[in-house]
Amino acid sequence: MNKFILDGKRNDWKWQNANRITDAESFRKAFPNCTAELAENIGGYIRKFRFAATPYYLSLVAKDGQGNPLPGDPLWKQVCFHPADTPDSDGYADGKVNWENPAEFPTPILHHKYPDRALLRITDHCMCYCNYCYLTARILDKNTPKHNLFEDDYWEKSLDYIRKHTEIRDILISGGEPLLFDNASLEKVLAGIRGIGTVKTIRLNTRALSFNPFRFDNGLAGLFRDYRLTALEIHTSHPSEITPEFDDALSTLESSGYRPMILWRAPLLRGINDSAETLEKLFIMLYERRIEPYYLFHYAPYSLSRAEYGVSVRRGAAILRELRRRIPGPSFPRYTLFHIHGKQDIPLSENGTGDFIYETDKNGNSIVRFIDWKGEWSIYPDVGEKGNRP
């Protein structure tokens, strides 16, 4: 790889963020032999959507003989750009959101869906941008409103709401990528939450282990220890993301004398991880590192690239059935989809169940109909037969 990727400061997490590829010009510097088509595609894409990739992550991407990313590489496919004018009829369009009900947002950064827990989205930015983000409108789309933690008293209003709603005992810190904040800023967040006596547990959702594992410095590990972070929820979609640098980050937590519970969560993605062999390798690698494979998510319906990467619910269940007796129980995740009322576990039976039914709507589109946690029937749009490819 060229000097752009192998600069001597690569182990500095701030250098990684500062030297991300974010536009056509920086892409050409990183890949001077790129084709005109690649450069044209990124130019069209970034006019509407955010794009960024750290030098570290790009160093993991498989390259062709010219040093360009291989189109089929599973890591490249997660961040690569598609022509902006390509119709995505099965996914995102013009500000569509998935399950974000405005009534559940007492502030623009606080999501209170379930009675005993709440989610704080403290940033709308990421280290790298997954092109399948289920928060396409909030994160990727440049034309939708963005929010900042400390703008318009969002932070203090959110804390005040949590104080008043004493039934909230669990807080999930998410984003975007919360570990974009430096340690001093992140300490203010953790201290504010820990200062509320009715909050008993704190989780933090991150993809830094895949995109910028150098973020796990001694200072961050100390914060997790000092503020008793209960769980770290990580997103890693493919075994190739588990690297020596990934392991070094885990070792930093160990050396601090405190390692929070680590839970894995990621979506099922066609052409990236939708095979029993790939998922078996990933889940076992996680289990070996004492990381619990917690949730395998089905592709959210109104997300960018769903037409490209979506897998049908029935196909996903078949993959999990194949895996069920091949891996130890603690390494087997829940298979779950999102809907307007929350999450729904997907039964692994071939033909569904009495309260989880595979159907087609009046237009012939694949759907599943199920009884959600509120006891109500919900309808979920599936991706159709093209998502059933083996």
Please give the residue that has the higher pLDDT: either 40 or 184: 184
Contacts of 100 (CB under 8 A, 6+ apart): 111, 138
CA 69 – CA 42 distance, rounded (Å)? 13
What confidence score (pLDDT) does residue 1 get? 39
- 195-247, pLDDT tens digit by residue? 999 999 999 999 999 999 999 999 999 999 999 999 999 999 999 999 999 99
What confidence score (pLDDT) does residue 84 get? 60
What confidence score (pLDDT) does residue 4 get? 46
* pLDDT band, residue 2 (cuts 50/70/90): very low
Read off the pLDDT of each residue in 129-152 and give the average, rounded to a whole number: 85
What confidence score (pLDDT) does residue 338 get? 85
- 110-138, pLDDT tens digit by residue? 999 999 999 999 999 999 999 999 899 88
Token code pair at residue 367? 């759907």
What confidence score (pLDDT) does residue 3 get? 42
What confidence score (pLDDT) does residue 385 get? 54
- 172-195, pLDDT tens digit by residue? 999 999 999 999 999 999 999 999
CB atoms within 10 A of CB 151: 11
Indicate the helix (H) or strand (E) that contains 82. Answer: none
What confidence score (pLDDT) does residue 307 get? 84
- 62-76, pLDDT tens digit by residue? 999 999 999 999 999
* pLDDT band, residue 41 (cuts 50/70/90): confident
What confidence score (pLDDT) does residue 18 get? 95
What confidence score (pLDDT) does residue 148 get? 73
Q: What is the CATH number of domain 102-388?
A: 3.20.20.70
CA 149 – CA 379 distance, rounded (Å)? 34
Read off the pLDDT of each residue in 353-371 and give the average, rounded to a whole number: 94
Please give the residue that has the higher pLDDT: either 121 or 39: 121
**β-strands 117-121, 110-111 pairing:** antiparallel
- 260-314, pLDDT tens digit by residue? 999 999 999 999 999 999 999 999 999 999 999 999 999 888 888 888 899 999 9
Kindly tell me the burial class for residue 389, based on how many C-beta atoms sit within 10 Å of its own C-beta (0-12, 13-18, 19 or more): exposed
Specify the pTM.
Answer: 0.93
Is the per-residue pLDDT at 85 higher than 60?
Answer: no
Contacts of 139 (CB under 8 A, 6+ apart): 50, 124, 125, 126, 129, 133, 175, 176
Token code pair at residue 100? 């974000």
In the chain, which ranges are E strands? 110-111, 117-121, 170-174, 201-206, 231-234, 261-267, 292-297, 334-339, 342-345, 356-360, 366-371, 377-381
Domain range list for the chain: 3-79, 102-388
- 322-342, pLDDT tens digit by residue? 999 899 999 999 999 988 788
Please give the residue that has the higher pLDDT: either 29 or 370: 370
CA 160, 161, 164, 168 dihedral sign is negative
* pLDDT band, residue 24 (cuts 50/70/90): confident
